[in-house]
Amino acid sequence: MRNSSGNDLVYLPATRSERTRLPRFYSRILTAAEVEGFARFVGSGLPFDHYVWLCWSVKESVYKYQKRLFPELVFAPLRIEVQQIDPPCGDLDFYAGIVVAQRLVGPTGVASQTLFSRTWVRDGVIVTIVSEDQQFTDTHWGFSAIDSATYADQSAAVRKLALGELSSVLSRDDLRLEKDAAGCPIVLAGDQPLAIPISLAHHEGFIAYSFCSKTV
């Protein structure tokens, strides 16, 4: 198993619900099976347009997870299928998903990877994390609102938030974040890259991160 991390964030008030509900829009995101899967949420209080963006956040998280492992990967939402998603119940406050992602291998081959997702929908914000570990044992994540929606402020704020948790988990104060050649964020201690995969997300005035503290 090669460790990675993937997360995503969607601020629902910044989306257009009318457009999201149009087949010509959501058919570029959802497979036919995923559209049919919404039937189990009818009457649950989850509107269809929110379901679309929930699935989008899962797919974006999976893409980030895989992009670190396969830098040549191109985002293709219809190749990432949410095969099962269970609404919050009992003590669980998140939507639990099982996702199968396919990627092209060579000119004709296809490889599949199964990942698990957890998604929280709170106060108009969707936050998703994914992992190969269904229990998310070594996955750390955080989410926060900030006072600015500019890219520079979002980027600085999410890095500060993530570094605070990283420093606490790893018990070191010499950490910084950079990007690798594929554009994925990486953790460095001084000039030494660490085997701690991390993912960052921001949308409007909200930021989120996830990272896996288990090294392989």
Is a pLDDT exceeding 70 seen at residue 216?
no
In the structure encoding, which two tokens stand for residue 149, read together?
């929606």
Mean pLDDT of 118-130: 96
Place of tokens 């009992």: 90
Please tell me the pTM assigned to this model.
Answer: 0.95
pLDDT cut 90: percent of the chain above it: 87
Burial 92-105 (b: 16+ CB within 10 A, else e): eebbbbebebebee
Contact 113, 125 (CB under 8 A): no
What whole-number distance in Å separates Cα of residue 216 and Cα of residue 169? 17
Q: Tens of pLDDT along 179-190?
A: 998 899 999 998
- Provide the token pair at 16: 């257009």
Mean per-residue pLDDT over the chain, rounded: 95
Please give the share of the chain, as a percent, with pLDDT higher than 70.
98
With bands split at pLDDT 50, 70 and 90, how would you rate the model's confidence at 1? low
Has residue 172 been placed in a domain?
Answer: yes
HEC-encoded secondary structure of 175-187: EEEEECCCCCEEE
Identify the domain containing residue 136 by its residue range. Answer: 6-212
Q: What does residue 105 show for φ and ψ, rounded to 5 degrees?
A: -125, 110
pLDDT in tens, 11-30: 999 999 999 999 999 999 99
CA nearest to 58, candidates 157, 127, 160, 146 = 127
- Each residue's pLDDT tens digit, 85-118: 999 988 999 999 999 999 988 778 889 999 999 9
**Structural domains counted in the chain:** 1
Q: Is residue 53 part of a domain?
A: yes
d(CA 177, CA 133): 24
What's residue 112's pLDDT?
94
Look at residue 108 and tell me if it is in a domain.
yes
Q: Is residue 1 part of a domain?
A: no
Q: Do 14 and 203 meet the contact criterion of CB atoms below 8 Å apart?
A: yes
The answer to the question of residue 126 being in a domain is: yes
The residues, ordered by sequence, that sit 6+ positions from 189 with a Cβ below 8 Å of its Cβ are: 172, 174, 175
Tell the residue number behind the tokens 């750390």, with chain if given: 140
Tokens 């999410």 sit at which residue?
A: 158
Quick check: is 48 in a domain?
A: yes
pLDDT of residue 56: 98
What per-residue confidence (pLDDT) applies to 215? 65
**pLDDT at residue 55 greater than cutoff 90:** yes
